[in-house]
Amino acid sequence: MIRMQNIRFQYEKRPLFSHLNLDIPKGNIYGMLGVNGAGKTTLLKIISGQLFPNEGTISVLGFNPADRKPNMLEDLFHLPEEFLLPRVRVNEYLDSYAPFYPRFDTDAFHRYCSEFGVDESQHLNTLSYGQKKKFLLSFGLASNTALLILDEPTNGLDIPSKSQFRRTVASAMTDDRTFIISTHQVRDMENLIDPIIIIDSGRVVFNSALDTVSEQFTMQLERVEPDRDSAIFVDKVPGGWMTIRTREPEAEETTVDLETLFNAVVSHPEQFIAFTGGKGGVV
């Protein structure tokens, strides 16, 4: 689906990625996590062909995204964090844009709009930011593209909409589709994203499915302060210490807490070098 090899990218003289490798096979809802400024949005823009890497090769759906071929674009929908909608009605937008996506499902679009509570009779520019986002989400999901990129999709959504977002995205997922969701609000994405890709300091420091993590590590809230040398990661949280330890073979698997995993990976990337996706995010 996506293969990036030895990608180097810089904004003028500020280097961002150097020798970045990333493989994303099809058929999952990938969560892309990273601190502010880690390069998540830039990486998504490189994947969708809006930015060109300075070096390296990249293949998305079998195309070089920098060419922005229509055959690639009609199979890729990218919802950015900041967007601009034309001053048209919902149905006019549909008439103008839907024909560009060969597998666009109009019934599904109306269903998603209904689930999100988007009023289809309104002018798009009269909708609130959250409503606009839900409208574009509905459109993107209904486009049935093989690759759907969502950059901070829950920003601006109210609490009920966030739950609805998880339900709707999960229902739209099929084996032929791949979703990449970039976020720094990991709580919004729990039970939805898997595998997880973590970007830090211009590198992919983690790229693995959650069950692989739970096979090797245990994560639990401990009431008594643990011995820091016996754990891979300890984080003080309300009510105790979230701890990551190497899992003993006979120990039960625990649920992965995304926030703890993220903090652990970002603070101790060397402990998770085996989870960088085979060749690793860094050469």
Partner 1 sequence: MRLIRVMRKELVEHRRNLLIYTLTVALLLLVQELADAFIVKAVSGIGSGGTTYLTNFIAFLFLGGFIITSSAFSQDMFGRTGQHNWLMLPASQWEKFFAKALLSAIAYPIALTLLFSVASVLIELLALVLFGSPFTPFNPISPYIRKLILHFVATQSLFLLGATYFRKAHFFKTLLAIGVIGIGFAMLTTLFARIAFAPYSSGVFGFHFRIDSYTLWAQNPALHTIKWIYTLLYWVVMPLFCWFVAYLRVKEVEATDAIQ
Residues that bind partner 1 (CB under 8 A): 11, 45, 48-52, 68-70, 73-74, 76-78, 80, 82-84, 86-88, 92, 95-97, 99-101
Nearer residue to partner 1 within complex by CB, 67 or 211 = 67
Q: Do 219 and 254 touch, CB atoms closer than 8 A?
A: yes
- In angstroms, what is the minimal distance from the CB of 116 to partner 1? 20
- In angstroms, what is the minimal distance from the CB of 54 to partner 1? 11
Phi-psi region of 210 (alpha: psi -120 to 50; beta: other; left: phi over 0): alpha
169-174: Cβ within 8 A, 24+ apart: 169/29, 169/137, 169/141, 170/29, 172/108, 172/112, 172/141, 173/29
Return d(Cα 96, Cα 76) in angstroms, integer: 17
Nearer residue to partner 1 within complex by CB, 70 or 249 = 70
- In angstroms, what is the minimal distance from the CB of 45 to partner 1? 5
Nearer residue to partner 1 within complex by CB, 80 or 153 = 80
**Residue from 245, 185, 219, 202 nearest 40 by CA:** 202
Nearer residue to partner 1 within complex by CB, 92 or 225 = 92
Return d(Cα 76, Cα 46) in angstroms, integer: 13
Taking residue 90's Cβ as centre, other Cβ atoms within 10 Å add up to 22
Nearer residue to partner 1 within complex by CB, 51 or 189 = 51
- In angstroms, what is the minimal distance from the CB of 75 to partner 1? 8
- In angstroms, what is the minimal distance from the CB of 120 to partner 1? 17
